Amino acid sequence: MPAIRNTVRALITRDDRVLVVEKRDARGQRYLLPGGGQRHGETLLAALHRECLEEIGARVSAPELAFVRDYLSWNHDAGDPDKDFQVVEFVFRCSVPDDYSPQRGSRPDAGQTSTKWIAVAELSSVAFVPRSIVEALQQGRATSLYLGDIN
């Protein structure tokens, strides 16, 4: 039976743009919200703050839960076919300081090539993960909701 992993993500928007981390790996180029796995003994908010410092080099503030999604790898083509894993992802709406410029943090993820702003209107035309929140962001309804097992 696979383990369940909690992850946190920061949904940071400014001027109709979203802050993303660009990654390149065997699956190609992808754009993700900054964040990562929760460690044992760490609260979700502590994990969010640590992951943002590591990946985007910024302290985030005003975290508010925006989305919760399950991800069961065996139900989606995007998962590694050799692994069965389950993720519960908590996406928090956050802000960064007004003078923040995209940068890599102190401990970027493997394959992380950059951090950048992407226009919300362009998210559907790039390899953005999770795809499931693109429509909600474009319609301005990025509020708390349970998304279920989606990619």
pLDDT in tens, 23-39: 998 878 999 999 999 99
What confidence category does residue 85 fall into, taking pLDDT thresholds of 50, 70 and 90? confident
- Look up the CATH number of the domain holding residue 43: 3.90.79.10
More confident residue, 5 or 84: 5
Q: What is the mean pLDDT of residues 15-20?
A: 95
Flag whether pLDDT at 125 surpasses 70. yes
Tell me: the pLDDT tens digits for 97-108?
999 999 989 898
Flag whether pLDDT at 81 surpasses 90. no
Where in the sequence is the domain holding 136, given as residue range(s)? 4-149
Kindly report the average pLDDT of the chain as a whole number.
87
More confident residue, 83 or 129: 129
pLDDT score, position 15:
93
pLDDT score, position 78:
54
Q: Is 140 helix (H, G, I), strand (E, B) or coil?
A: coil
* Total number of domains constituting the chain: 1
pLDDT score, position 149:
66
